């Protein structure tokens, strides 16, 4: 498995990966999340142009997972990381996170951040195993607060959410 920057022609595959990865939310009583459409191609293209979109590819060079990030409050914020279920439980998501941490370290960025569902096993508990820790609400920066507000507008606050950080 190798990791590289996403290519323009692969962006529809990223949407397919996210749809497939999201289906498991149905099993934990979150069908709204399972049915949520991935980011539009224009948004994915923006991440790619900014150099903030990576894919993990199989031996044939086909993406099986991806990660997109934003610069937020001086850190790199994981906007989305998705692994196709056919390639899950192989450390690919962790490899993408480690890749981003390496990029952050090379750029002098102090931390990775993300928001996630607190009680979904492959969300907050998984990220804790990957070195992320919860961030107290009082310690959130303005950009981080904006992320939470946008997520609430999208209805994600129906389930407990947590902001997490991994120091680089």
Other C-beta atoms lying within 10 Å of the C-beta of residue 11: 23
User: What's the residue count for the chain?
Assistant: 168
pTM for the whole structure: 0.93
Domain ranges of the chain: 2-167
The one-digit pLDDT tens for each residue of the chain (168 residues) are 899 999 999 999 999 999 999 999 999 989 999 898 999 999 999 999 999 999 999 999 999 999 999 999 999 999 999 999 999 889 999 999 999 999 999 999 999 999 999 989 889 999 999 999 999 989 999 999 999 999 999 888 888 899 999 999
CATH 3.60.20.10 fits 2-167, yes or no: no
d(CA 82, CA 76): 17
d(CA 96, CA 106): 15
Cα–Cα separations (whole angstroms), residue 94 to 7, 38, 44, 128: 21, 21, 21, 11
């Amino acid at each position: 498995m190798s990791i590289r920057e996403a290519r323009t022609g692969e962006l529809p595959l990223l949407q397919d990966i996210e749809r497939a990865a999201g289906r498991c939310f149905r099993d934990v009583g979150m069908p709204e999340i399972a049915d949520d459409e991935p980011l539009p191609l224009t948004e994915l293209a923006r991440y790619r142009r900014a150099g903030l979109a990576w894919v993990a590819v199989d031996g044939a060079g086909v993406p099986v997972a991806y990660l997109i990030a934003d610069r937020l409050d001086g850190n790199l914020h994981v906007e989305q990381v998705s692994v196709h279920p056919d390639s899950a439980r192989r450390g690919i998501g962790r490899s993408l996170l480690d890749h981003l941490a390496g990029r952050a370290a090379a750029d002098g960025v102090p931390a990775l951040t993300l928001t996630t569902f607190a009680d979904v096993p492959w969300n907050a508990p998984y990220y804790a195993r990957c070195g992320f820790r919860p961030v107290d609400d009082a310690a959130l920066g303005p950009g981080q607060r904006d992320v939470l507000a946008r997520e609430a507008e999208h209805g994600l606050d129906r389930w407990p959410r947590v902001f997490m950080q991994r120091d680089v």
